[in-house]
């Protein structure tokens, strides 16, 4: 289902939970709504489902405005954070509920439930009650139940929040596969960036009720549009004044801040760099072993920068003096934000011999 949202607003009392949100979702895509807790993600999802009424704005499914349609008629499936399974019904009855309500005939119901039980790997559990299932199994029942009436849009509210870390990983890839196989447009809410990056085709970053950026995980990582997105996605260090960094003096005169990701920084001995003039002196403060690499904390001009260093390279020691090259930085001021390469990396007067 093609989903279009225009100028969506929602207040809860004095609290402006969702602020003028616009977006469109292509049919068949899996979208992650990502952002800090209390940012309005769940409110957006609930308005799409019809469980909450927007104060203003338009929600369009398939070119048809659905603002006045109740949840019953929106052809959606909703998976709740705590599953919300009908606790007095068996797995079979839970999955069959939506079909029974729609008065499907008995034979159809049996076939559809059997199909979903197969698809979600719940075979043999049909007679169990929710309290006799593990967290992961309940989650699967919730999926199967939401998918049973063949909805056009699947909405998932923090689908993995209540599951322990080990099974979560497994369920993520399972969900990704399942949704691909069913081919249903899906939107899920999460506050876990790894989850969003791993599962979603596209991510929408929501902060304080606003949609900050929408795009593929790679685009968002590579080109964050707002300082919030830059800090929220990936690791980074914030530098109060970009001009203090070597190679970033020409920032347009305005006070400009810089965000630096670990992979933007290179550390090593002076002779390891081609353009030694672009490097700065730093002191290794701490070393943390991260399994496949070293996490290096290095101090440059009173700023603490963080980077990774391969295990293949010579091991550093804390207190050691070292050359640091900042390849690029994400700069922002009151007016705009942009990514800037280190100005000294390009030799201003190349000499050809």
Partner 1 sequence: MRKLWIGLTYLVFFLLIAAPLGKMTIGAFSEGFGGFWDALTRPEALHALMMTGFVVVVVTLLNTLFGIMMALYLVRASWLGSRVKGLLNSIVDLPYAVSPVIGGLMIVLLLGPDSALGAVFEQIGVKIVYAFPGMVIATLFVTFPLMVREIMPVLQEIGSQQEEAASTLGAYGWTTFWKVTWPSIRWAVIYGVILTVARSLGEFGAVLVVSGNIMNKTQTATTLVYQDVENFNVTAAGGIALVLAAFSAGLLLLMEWSKRRKEVH
49 binds partner 1 (CB under 8 A): yes
Order the strands of the 210-215 sheet from edge to edge. 76-79, 153-157, 185-190, 30-34, 202-207, 210-215
Site for partner 1 (CB under 8 A): which residue of 1, 28, 36, 51? Answer: 51
Rg (CA), the chain: 25
Per rule CB under 8 A, is residue 87 in the interface with partner 1?
yes
Piece in contact with partner 1 (CB under 8 A), picked from 31-39, 76-84, 119-127, 236-244: 76-84
Which CB sits closer to partner 1, 153 or 258? Answer: 153
User: How far apart are the C-alpha atoms of 325 and 341, rounded to whole Å?
Assistant: 11
Would you say 293 and 272 are in contact if contact means Cβ atoms under 8 Å apart? no
Would you count residue 70 as binding partner 1 (CB under 8 A)? yes
Smaller CB distance to partner 1: residue 62 or 313?
A: 62
> How many Å apart are CA 11 and CA 14, to the nearest integer?
7
Stretch that binds partner 1, among 35-43, 58-66, 67-75, 240-248 (CB under 8 A): 67-75
Neighbouring CB atoms inside 10 A of 226's CB total 15
Stretch that binds partner 1, among 27-35, 69-77, 176-184, 290-298 (CB under 8 A): 69-77
Task: Give the footprint of partner 1 on residues 103-122 (CB under 8 A).
Answer: none
Q: How is residue 69 annotated by DSSP?
A: S
The secondary structure of residue 315, as a DSSP letter, is P
Q: Which residue among 145, 172, 246, 261 contacts partner 1 (CB under 8 A)?
A: 145
Q: Does residue 284 contact residue 298 with C-beta atoms inside 8 Å?
A: yes
76 near partner 1 (CB under 8 A) = yes
Residues 6+ apart with CB under 8 A from 1: 27, 61, 62, 75, 152, 153, 185
273 binds partner 1 (CB under 8 A): no
Residues of this chain that interact with partner 1 (CB under 8 A) are 49-51, 70-74, 76-78, 80, 82, 84-88, 97-98, 101-102, 145-146, 148-149
């Amino acid at each position: 289902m093609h989903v279009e949202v225009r100028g969506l607003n929602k207040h809860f009392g004095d609290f402006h939970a969702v602020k003028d949100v616009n977006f469109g979702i292509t049919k068949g895509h899996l979208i992650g709504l990502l952002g800090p807790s209390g940012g309005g993600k769940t409110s957006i999802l609930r308005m799409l489902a019809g469980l909450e009424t927007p104060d203003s704005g338009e929600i369009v499914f398939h070119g048809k405005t659905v603002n006045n349609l109740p949840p019953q008629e929106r052809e959606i499936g909703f998976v709740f954070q705590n599953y919300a399974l009908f606790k007095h019904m068996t797995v079979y009855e839970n999955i069959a509920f939506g079909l029974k309500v729609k008065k499907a005939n008995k034979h159809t119901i049996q076939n559809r439930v059997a199909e979903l039980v197969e698809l979600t790997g719940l075979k043999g559990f049909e007679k169990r009650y929710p309290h006799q299932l593990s967290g992961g199994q309940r989650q699967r029942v919730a999926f199967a139940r939401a998918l049973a009436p063949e909805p056009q849009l699947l909405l998932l509210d923090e689908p993995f929040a209540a599951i322990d870390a080990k099974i979560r990983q497994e369920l993520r890839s399972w969900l990704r596969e399942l949704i691909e196989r069913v081919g249903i447009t899906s939107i899920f809410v999460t506050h876990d960036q790894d989850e969003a990056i791993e599962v979603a085709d596209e991510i929408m970053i929501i902060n304080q009720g606003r949609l900050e950026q929408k795009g593929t995980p790679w685009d968002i990582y590579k080109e964050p549009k707002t300082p919030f997105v830059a800090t929220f996605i990936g690791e980074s260090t914030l530098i109060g004044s970009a001009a203090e960094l070597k190679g970033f003096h020409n920032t347009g005169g305005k006070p400009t801040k810089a965000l630096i990701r670990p992979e933007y920084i290179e550390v090593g001995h002076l002779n390891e760099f081609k353009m030694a003039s672009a490097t700065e002196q730093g002191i290794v403060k701490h070393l943390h072993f991260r399994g496949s690499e070293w996490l290096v904390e290095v101090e440059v001009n009173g700023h603490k920068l963080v980077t990774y260093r391969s295990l293949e390279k010579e091991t550093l020691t804390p207190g050691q003096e070292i050359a640091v090259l900042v390849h690029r930085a994400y700069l922002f001021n009151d007016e705009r934000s942009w990514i800037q390469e280190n100005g000294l990396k390009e030799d201003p007067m190349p000499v050809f011999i």
